[in-house]
Structure formats: structure tokens, C-alpha cells
């Protein structure tokens, strides 16, 4: 049974039993404690905790998940995968244990013809919590399971909670006996490879208190409403039903593994070490496909870093298998075919996905080439000094200067028997981040507030009455004041606190739009609003600095947004939509916004694209945006369901969470139609002007446009005019002749460079002729060794030139060593030498102890000391003699 069919059967089964089928949430999650959805219940967390009233009593979903805590174990074991799908059925105060157990048993054992999975009931084992006699009794009665296949376990295995105070409860897990080939008998406690867990039923019936660990907390009592949360591993069920050994061999991953094996020229199952790399590739390529499809872009922080790490581990695994050519787009195409039956969006977005992956692979190949040489040199130096630890400063240099991820440094250093000073590296990274965030901390100097106190405010008073779409002022009551240490009754002049109001006109930072600025005023207080956030769903918190008097809980204040600030914010946010639409008009639909930020007078927009935009294209995009503003396109806001919005082509940000009704902002109707919660102008002309100020790379396959908007846009153009005037004065040319005059100056510089290059090449050719004339005879072959300075390109050029001057009728070998900071050995073999059995790649690897690579014609290797290169040159004659059989 194919994985897509298993998925469909699950959803159909529960839909027939009154469950609302909820689509998978995107992998990026707005939950501040998570980067990605890592469990099937995550999108339902607000309903399970009681923060938000659930819109349904029963739900079912197949949720995409990513976990990377055990990423180093991927491929080494057959149970770890970074991407997986979790089938789940949920009850919010509706049915409980008996129905959950009956559903799981029925679907698992029901015949295939009747919509089930037809697992053999005699091979199913279950575990229950040691205190849960009710569940034990239900398994006996509902499934007629014998006592020996109902295993009792403790809190560590069969008691669920989220790690913080809140709902908790016992769980019951289903296991399937795969037979003696997979391990010893005796049930799940004896061997969890043989007895594979495939479904976990969580019975949320208690509330836990404060405490740490899996067991160090009190159970406070029964919940007012009991919930069901179950998770069936789709990949595990596929492995069982498809009769394969592990998740890497199911129909959604095995084709990727097989293609990787074909490209590398290896066979899966022939070599345990190669099998690990093949499994890493199969897993990571599928994970990358799903992350890219959901809008995550490779980067250096957060989600982007996780994706970059996954892509680079896949590329490096292919190289370790011996395949050094680009491979990601080939492998991703196979993964697309596997996943499209369940997720059509991976096919729809594949051009964008392939471009981003190819750009990342190209960049990493260059990074790997540079960084490997630096790392190898550093490791050699550490070992030469008798050490076994690479300094944190060296790891930081690799990361900061060469873009070498710390995880890759750790892996590659470990392969050479060296540890890395991780603490030193982390300290340097922390210092860098602190410097980068200094401005933000200065603006938000009040610090974080106590979220537990805020939760109490939300429970007592309910959601904030948010009026940002409708007004700039409200008469509001102060419900709470929260400092970093906890709630306070009053804030005095100069103090910064988080203020919760019963209603507010302030826009809270979200959707790329910065928060509003303004103030609070009352009979005895004045306060500046520094920042506005939503730390909990529905609750708006204002970070305020009291500038006069005192602000106390219970005060009535006038909350007022700075009207100039709001006007600028509206211009910038609408300008972002306009620029996005113009970009897609000029470049096509794959130029899809992958991130944005806007504040009064400024906007930036990130989008996937390989290579920089030409000046002509930038001009076309800017013109398309301003043409829309000149036409004064109407701006409309409509509310509809998410399916209705998708039906009319509204664009959605991947990392946003949407409710039953969504807000669609249209500028010129279908020309710009996006889901958005921001503030906007009423007519496009109110934006004023969009002036592009920068276009840059923010990672492989990702570009960033920046623009000045409104009056700031006019100011930018005025400054550009003044700059042109100064340059024209300096080069003594009229403005109209500036391009020609600058081109003349550049031509002169290029001519000088060409002359210098000609002189260098002449000197190199003279040396090549001299070296060829001093060739020595080794077993009938002409052999030349030499050293040079410069760069690796100079060494390669010299080796090829010498080889070309050797007698064509007899075998010839030229070896050139590049000395200096980055030692390199280049070996070139002529046609007669290759016909006699000589290989440049083989010679390099012999001389450098396995390092290096290339073709039979020319090869090179590095990462060694200058002394090692001298020894390699001295050993060339012996290596040639042995290769020729003498």
C-alpha cells in the first residue's frame, strides 16, 4: 500500500466518524518556542491548552513535521528521520479513552477492502501507564488482547505533558511485532526494533504543576474538559504495510536513495559506510523539498540555518560517496515525484525549489573547497603541536569568513580525530549577535515580560479589543503592568514596563510590519509607546516608558497612535504589496515573497532568485511599481474563508497561521491579492513613490530588494541627483557624458591589467620550457617536478604547460607544488602516459595519502603542510615506477 493511500485511508476513516479534516499546517510555525512543527498536535496546541475555543469537537489531520535534534543519527540508525508525517485524531471535550482505543484498533485491523490496514491482531502489543487500569481494561474488552500483550510502563514512557504547567495525562502506545528477523522476542520492553511503535494515544485528563524533567512535577487534579490527542507515524505504518525494513526504504524515500546510488556508482546494501551516506541523502533531500515548498529559504539564522545545514549535509554525503558533480536538482526531482500525490504544492513550486537548492549547492561547493583547505591546515597545526582540540576562534573564522557551518566543522574535525572548542565558538557567536542586536535592545530596553503573568491577564480579562484597523485613538483602561520580574501595580517616571489595555488602536508588530509609535496620556501620566507585541494569541502588550507622572493598574488613559507614523507605515506596507506584484509581473510567478519588513519610509522584500538582477530589470520593476501608483489603483479589503481566498489566487505567507476567516488585501483587484493583517492606504497613489535603493544577496538563491517609500523616496532621489553632480564635477564631464567618461577610465585600468597578465604569462612560459628541458627519465617516462608560488591556478597552468612541452611519443608526467599558506599539488599526465596506465588522480592520492582528486589527465590535492609537499614531489618518481610496473 503506497504511503499516499495510507494517508487517504486515515483521513477517510475519521471523516466518516464525524471528524473535521484539517489540512496540514505549514512546517514553519509562529510558536515562539519552535522553529518548525515537530509533532502532530502543535497546530492544535491552543485548543488543547484551552487558550482558544476549538472550532470543532473532533478533528483529524496528517501533519508535516521536522525534528533535527537527532540529525547526526539520521542514516546511522534506521529509526531517525528529520522529516515525517503524523496522522492524528483529536477530541476536544468529546469522546475519550474507549472511543480512541476502539478507533485505533478498528482502523489498524480492519480489512483492506473495508478501508483498513489489515494488520494481524495477533502481532499487536500495547503499553499503558501503570496507574491506568481503565485503559488496560478497555484493551481487554475492545480488542480482546491477552494480558501478556498489554505491557505496563512508568512515567518516562507512558505519561504525556508539554514540559510546562498545563494539560497532561497517561498514554497508550501500539506496537507491531515484525518477527524474529528484527530482534529478540519479549515485547516492546525487550526490543523496540522488532516491536515497532506505530500509534500513540494520549489521554489528556489532568493538569500538572511547576517542575522539571519528565517526572519532577505535581499532578494538580482533573481537567475541566478531557481531550484526546493521538499520533500514528505515517512512515512507520508505510514500512509495516510495504514490508520494508525501515523508513528509508518506503516508496516516498527509496527512489531518492536509489537515484543517489546510481549517481555515485554504488549499490545500497554493499557497504555499511556508504549505506549511511545514502540514507542521509534520501532523508535530507525529502526534508529540504518540504521545507523549501513551505517557504523556508536557506540562511544563517533560525529556520534558514536548519535548512542550509540539511542541504549541505546532503551535498557532502554525495561527495563522500564519490560524486562531486551537482546533484541536488536531480535528487529533488525524484523526491517531488514521490511527494506530489500527497502534496501537490511541491510540483507547483518546483521551479522555485530547484533554483534555490541549486544556488545553495553552488555556493556550498565553493565554500567546501575553501573551507576544507583552511580546516585541514588548522587541524594539521593542532596535531603538530600535540593538541587534540581545534580552538573556538578557528571554528568561528571558518563560520564567519568562509560560511562553514559549525556542525560541518564538528563532523569534519571528528573524522580527523580532533575535537572543537564548542564553548569558545559559542561565546564568539554570542558576542557577534549581541553587537548586531545592540540597536534593537536600545529601542526595546524594557526587556522581556513574564508570560505566565500575561496568561493570567488573558484568562481574567479575555482578548484585547484591537482597533488598529479602524481608529488612531481609544479611551482605554490599564488592565495590567508587567516588568521583567513580574507584575507591578504602578510604573513611575523613567521606568519601562509592559502595559496591557482593555482596548488599543496600536498595531502590534506582525506580518513584516513594524509596530506603531505613539503614546498614552491621562490625568496624571504621560508615556511613550516604544513597542507593541502579541506575546500570546489575542493579547496585545505595549512596551511603554513613563515620561511624566505615574501609570497605575486601573487608570483610564487616552491611547493615541502617532498619525505621521501610521501614515508612513501604511505607505510602506502597501508599497511592499505593490513592489511584490511588480516583481512578479516582470520576473514571473516564481519570484514569490519569502520575507519582508516595512516601517515608515522603508521596505525590504526577499524573494527566491538565482543571480543578481540587472540594472535594466531593476528599472523595469521600479517602473512597474510606480506605474501602478500613478494609475491610483483602488485598495480593497475583503474577508472570506481560506479555501475561497486560495480559489481567487490570493497569496499567503507560509509562516503565518490563519483562522476560519482570512483578510484579503487587493490593490487593483487580481493584480495584487494577498492575505494580510497589516494597515494599508485607501488608494495606491497615497503611497507616493517607491524608489529602489538596493538589491543584494541574502543567501544562496535568495535576493533582497530594498526601497524608500513616500517622502523618503523623494529624498533618496534628491540625494542621488546631488551625488551625480559631485561625480560629474570630479571627472570634469557633463552629466550626460558621465557613462562614457567612467568607461574610458575603466578601459585604461583593464589595459594595464592585461599588460601585467601578459608579462606574467611570458615569464611562466619561459619557465615551463626550461622545466620541460630538465625532465628526468623514470621507467621510460619523462617526469618533471617543480615548485611555484602564486595561487592554485598558477600551479595548474604551469603543470599543463610543462606537460604540453614534453615529448608526445612517450609517457610524460608534470607535478607542480604550490607553496605558501595554502599548499597544493597539481599532477598532469600526457596522452601517452595515460595509454601506459598512468593516472593523475591516482598519483595525487598516492602522494598525499588519499587526499585530492580529479581526472586521469589532471588532478590536484591540498590540505597538507609544505613539508608534506616536498615529500610528495620526492616520491613521484617511485610512484610512477610502481604504476608502470617496474
CATH number at residue 505: 2.40.30.130
Pairwise CA distance, residues 864 & 120, whole Å: 59
Supply 170's cell numbers: 497517561
Give whole-number Cα distances, 422 to 410, 414, 829, in Å: 9, 13, 44
Q: Indicate which CATH number applies to the domain containing 90.
A: 3.30.930.10
> Residues 88, 63: contact at Cβ < 8 Å?
yes
**476 shares a domain with 402:** no
Pairwise CA distance, residues 621 & 783, whole Å: 59
pLDDT surpasses 90 at 309: no
Contact 603, 706 (CB under 8 A): yes
Q: Is 168 marked as binding a ligand?
A: no
- Give the range among 366-380, 445-459, 720-734 with minimum mean pLDDT: 445-459
Q: Provide the grid cell at 185.
A: 522476542
Strands annotated E in 35-79 = 58-66
Q: Note if the pTM is more than 0.75.
A: no
Asked if residue 577 belongs to a known ligand binding site, the reply is: yes
Q: Are 57 and 91 in contact (CB under 8 A)?
A: yes
Can you give the pLDDT at residue 53? 83
H or E, element range at 879: helix 876-883
Element (H, E) at 308: helix 302-320
Asked if residue 754 belongs to a domain, the reply is: no
Beta strands in 191-336 (DSSP E): 195-208, 219-233
Last residue of a domain, one of 561, 593, 610: 561
Alpha-carbon dihedral 35, 41, 47, 51, rounded to 10 degrees? -40
DSSP state of 736: G
State whether 261 and 351 are in the same domain: yes
Residue 747 domain-assigned (yes or no):
no
- Judge if 409 and 291 occupy the same domain: yes
Residues 315 and 283 grouped into a single domain: yes
Phi then psi for residue 490, to 5 deg, are -150, 150
399 is in an annotated binding site: no
Q: Single out the residue in 436, 454, 488 at which a domain terminates.
A: 436
Going across the sheet that includes 853-854, the strands are 776-778, 781-788, 812-818, 824-829, 858-862, 853-854
Does 726 fall in a domain? no
Torsion sign, CA atoms 404, 409, 412, 413: positive
User: Is 284 annotated in some ligand binding site?
Assistant: no
CA 803, CA 762: separation in Å to the nearest integer?
17
Maximum average pLDDT range among 403-407, 705-709, 737-741:
705-709
Using CB atoms within 10 A of its CB, is residue 730 exposed (0-12), middle (13-18) or buried (19+)? Answer: exposed
Give yes or no: residues 632 and 708 share one domain. yes
**Mean pLDDT over all residues of the chain?**
88
pLDDT at 444: 43
CATH of the domain at 687: 3.30.980.10
Here the CATH number for the domain that contains residue 818 is: 3.10.310.40
Query: Has residue 741 been placed in a domain?
Result: no
Domain coverage including residue 617: 566-718
Cell matching residue 53: 475555543
Is 394 in the same domain as 448?
no
- Render pLDDT for 633-672 as a digit per residue (tens, 0 to 9): 999 999 998 888 888 888 876 545 566 788 999 999 999 9
- Give the count of alpha carbons within 13 A of 422, CB side only: 11
Give residue 433's pLDDT.
63
Q: Please, is 460 exposed, middle or buried when counting C-beta atoms within 10 Å of its C-beta (0-12, 13-18, 19+)?
A: exposed
Name the domain boundary from 225, 249, 273. Answer: 249
| Cβ-Cβ contacts under 8 Å for 351 (sequence gap 6 or more) | 590
All residues at 6 or more sequence positions from 405 whose CB lies less than 8 Å from its CB, including other chains: 305, 308, 309, 312, 399
Do residue 125 and residue 229 come from a single domain?
yes
Do 818 and 777 lie in one domain? The reply is: yes
pLDDT at 41 over 70: yes
Whether 732 is in a domain gets the answer no
Give 3-state DSSP helix, strand, coil % of the chain, rounded to 5. 45, 25, 30
Grid coordinates in use for 722?
Answer: 546631488
Q: Lowest-confidence range among 417-431, 569-583, 641-655, 739-753?
A: 641-655
Which residue matches cell numbers 536548519?
306
Please check whether residue 736 lies inside any domain of the structure: no
Residue 165, number of CB atoms within 10 A of its CB: 18
In contact, 42 and 670? CB cutoff 8 Å: no
Which pLDDT score, from 0 to 100, does residue 32 have? 64
| pLDDT band of 443, cuts 50, 70, 90 | very low
pLDDT at 438: 46
My answer on whether 541 and 469 are in the same domain is yes
Q: For residue 750, tell me if it sits in a domain.
A: no
Count CA atoms closer than 13 A to 397's CA, side-chain side: 13
Burial class (CB in 10 A: 0-12, 13-18, 19+), 652: middle
pLDDT value at position 753?
Answer: 82
Q: In degrees to the nearest 10, what's the CA dihedral of 506, 510, 512, 517? A: 20
Q: Are residues 430 and 484 in the same domain?
A: no
| Pair (333, 430) in one structural domain | yes
Q: Tell whether 420 and 499 lie within a shared domain.
A: no
Number of domains, the chain: 5
- Kindly state the cell numbers that stand for 274: 556508504
Does residue 64 lie in a domain region? yes
Amino acid at each position: 500500500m503506497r504511503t499516499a493511500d495510507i494517508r487517504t485511508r486515515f483521513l477517510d476513516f475519521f471523516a466518516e466518524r464525524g471528524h473535521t479534516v484539517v489540512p496540514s499546517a505549514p512546517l514553519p510555525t509562529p510558536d515562539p518556542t519552535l522553529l518548525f512543527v515537530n509533532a502532530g498536535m502543535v497546530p492544535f496546541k491552543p485548543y488543547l491548552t484551552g487558550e482558544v475555543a476549538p472550532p470543532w469537537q473532533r478533528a483529524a489531520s496528517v501533519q508535516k513535521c521536522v525534528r533535527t535534534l537527532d540529525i547526526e543519527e539520521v542514516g546511522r540508525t534506521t529509526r531517525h528521520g528529520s522529516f515525517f508525517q503524523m496522522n492524528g485524531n483529536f477530541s476536544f471535550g468529546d469522546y475519550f479513552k474507549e472511543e480512541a482505543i476502539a478507533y485505533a484498533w478498528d482502523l489498524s485491523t480492519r480489512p483492506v477492502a473495508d478501508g483498513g490496514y489489515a494488520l494481524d491482531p495477533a502481532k499487536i502489543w500495547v503499553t499503558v501507564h501503570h496507574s491506568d487500569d481503565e485503559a488496560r481494561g478497555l484493551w481487554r474488552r475492545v480488542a480482546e488482547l491477552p494480558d501478556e500483550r498489554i505491557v505496563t510502563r512508568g512515567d518516562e514512557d507512558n505519561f504525556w505533558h508539554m514540559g510546562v504547567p498545563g494539560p497532561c495525562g497517561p498514554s497508550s502506545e501500539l506496537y507491531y511485532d515484525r518477527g524474529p528477523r528484527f530482534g529478540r522476542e519479549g515485547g516492546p520492553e525487550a526490543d523496540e526494533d522488532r516491536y515497532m511503535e506505530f500509534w500513540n494515544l494520549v489521554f489528556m485528563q489532568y493538569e500538572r504543576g511547576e517542575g522539571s524533567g519528565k517526572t519532577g512535577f505535581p499532578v494538580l487534579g482533573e481537567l475541566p474538559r478531557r481531550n484526546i490527542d493521538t499520533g500514528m507515524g505515517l512512515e512507520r505504518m508505510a514500512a509495516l504495510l510495504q514490508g520494508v525494513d525501515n523508513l528509508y526504504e518506503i516508496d516516498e524515500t527509496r527512489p531518492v536513495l536509489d537515484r543517489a546510488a546510481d549517481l555515485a556508482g554504488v549499490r545500497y546494501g554493499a557497504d555499511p559506510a556508504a549505506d549511511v551516506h545514502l540514507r542521509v541523502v534520501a532523508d535530507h533531500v525529502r526534508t529540504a523539498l518540504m521545507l523549501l515548498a513551505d517557504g523556508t529559504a536557506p540562511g544563517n539564522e533560525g529556520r534558514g540555518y536548519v535548512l542550509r545545514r540539511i542541504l549541505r549535509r546532503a551535498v557532502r554525503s554525495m561527495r563522500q560517496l564519490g560524486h562531486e558533480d551537482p546533484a541536488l536538482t536531480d535528487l529533488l526531482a525524484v523526491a517531488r515525484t514521490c511527494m506530489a500525490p500527497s502534496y501537490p504544492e511541491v510540483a507547483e513550486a518546483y521551479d522555485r525549489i530547484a533554483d534555490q537548492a541549486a544556488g545553495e549547492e553552488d555556493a556550498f561547493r565553493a565554500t567546501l573547497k575553501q573551507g576544507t583547505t583552511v580546516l585541514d591546515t588548522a587541524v594539521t597545526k593542532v596535531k603538530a603541536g600535540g593538541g587534540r582540540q581545534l580552538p573556538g576562534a578557528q571554528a568561528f573564522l571558518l563560520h564567519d569568513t568562509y560560511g562553514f557551518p559549525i556542525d560541518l566543522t564538528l563532523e569534519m574535525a571528528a573524522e580527523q580525530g580532533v575535537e572543537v572548542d564548542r564553548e569558545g565558538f559559542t561565546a564568539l557567536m554570542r558576542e557577534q549577535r549581541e553587537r548586531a542586536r545592540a540597536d534593537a535592545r536600545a529601542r526595546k530596553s524594557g526587556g522581556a515580560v513574564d508570560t505566565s503573568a500575561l496568561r493570567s491577564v488573558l484568562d481574567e480579562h479575555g482578548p484585547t479589543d484591537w482597533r488598529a484597523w479602524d481608529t488612531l485613538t481609544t479611551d482605554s483602561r490599564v488592565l495590567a503592568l508587567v516588568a521583567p520580574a513580574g507584575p507591578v501595580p504602578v510604573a513611575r517616571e523613567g521606568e519601562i514596563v509592559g502595559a496591557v489595555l482593555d482596548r488599543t488602536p496600536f498595531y502590534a508588530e506582525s506580518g513584516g510590519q513594524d509596530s506603531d509609535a505613539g503614546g498614552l496620556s491621562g490625568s496624571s501620566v504621560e508615556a511613550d509607546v516604544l513597542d507593541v507585541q502579541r506575546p500570546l494569541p489575542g493579547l496585545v502588550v505595549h512596551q511603554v516608558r513613563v515620561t511624566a507622572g505615574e501609570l497605575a493598574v486601573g487608570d483610564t488613559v487616552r491611547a493615541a497612535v502617532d498619525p505621521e507614523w501610521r501614515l508612513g507605515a501604511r505607505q510602506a506596507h502597501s508599497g511592499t504589496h505593490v513592489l511584490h506584484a511588480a516583481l512578479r509581473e516582470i520576473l514571473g510567478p516564481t519570484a514569490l515573497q519569502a520575507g519582508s519588513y516595512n516601517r515608515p519610509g522603508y521596505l525590504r522584500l526577499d524573494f527566491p532568485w538565482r543571480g543578481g538582477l540587472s540594472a535594466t530589470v531593476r528599472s523595469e520593476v521600479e517602473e512597474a511599481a510606480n506605474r501602478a501608483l500613478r494609475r491610483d489603483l483602488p485598495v480593497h479589503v475583503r474577508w472570506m474563508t481560506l479555501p475561497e481566498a486560495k480559489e481567487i489566487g490570493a497569496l499567503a505567507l507560509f509562516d503565518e497561521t490563519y483562522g476560519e476567516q482570512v483578510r484579503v488585501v487587493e490593490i487593483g483587484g487580481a493584480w495584487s491579492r494577498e492575505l494580510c493583517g497589516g494597515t494599508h492606504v485607501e488608494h495606491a497613489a497615497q503611497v507616493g513613490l517607491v524608489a529602489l535603493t538596493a538589491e543584494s544577496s541574502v543567501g544562496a538563491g535568495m535576493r533582497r530588494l530594498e526601497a524608500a517609500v513616500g517622502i523618503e523616496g523623494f529624498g533618496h532621489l534628491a540625494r542621488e541627483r546631488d551625488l551625480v553632480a559631485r561625480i560629474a564635477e570630479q571627472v570634469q564631464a557633463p552629466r550626460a557624458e558621465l557613462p562614457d567618461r567612467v568607461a574610458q577610465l575603466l578601459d585604461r585600468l583593464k589595459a594595464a591589467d592585461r599588460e601585467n597578465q601578459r608579462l606574467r604569462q611570458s615569464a611562466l612560459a619561459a619557465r615551463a620550457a626550461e622545466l620541460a628541458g630538465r625532465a628526468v627519465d623514470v621507467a621510460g617516462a619523462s617526469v618533471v617536478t617543480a615548485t611555484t608560488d602564486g595561487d592554485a591556478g598558477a600551479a595548474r597552468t604551469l603543470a599543463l604547460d610543462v606537460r604540453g612541452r614534453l615529448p608526445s611519443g612517450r609517457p610524460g608526467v608534470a607535478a607542480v607544488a604550490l607553496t605558501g599558506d595554502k599548499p597544493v599539488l597539481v599532477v598532469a599526465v600526457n596522452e601517452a602516459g595515460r595509454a601506459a596506465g598512468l593516472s593523475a588522480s591516482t598519483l595525487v592520492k598516492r602522494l598525499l595519502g588519499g587526499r585530492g582528486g580529479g581526472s586521469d589527465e589532471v588532478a590536484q590535492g591540498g590540505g597538507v603542510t609544505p613539508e608534506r609537499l616536498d615529500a610528495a614531489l620526492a616520491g613521484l618518481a617511485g610512484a610512477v615506477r610502481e604504476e608502470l610496473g617496474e
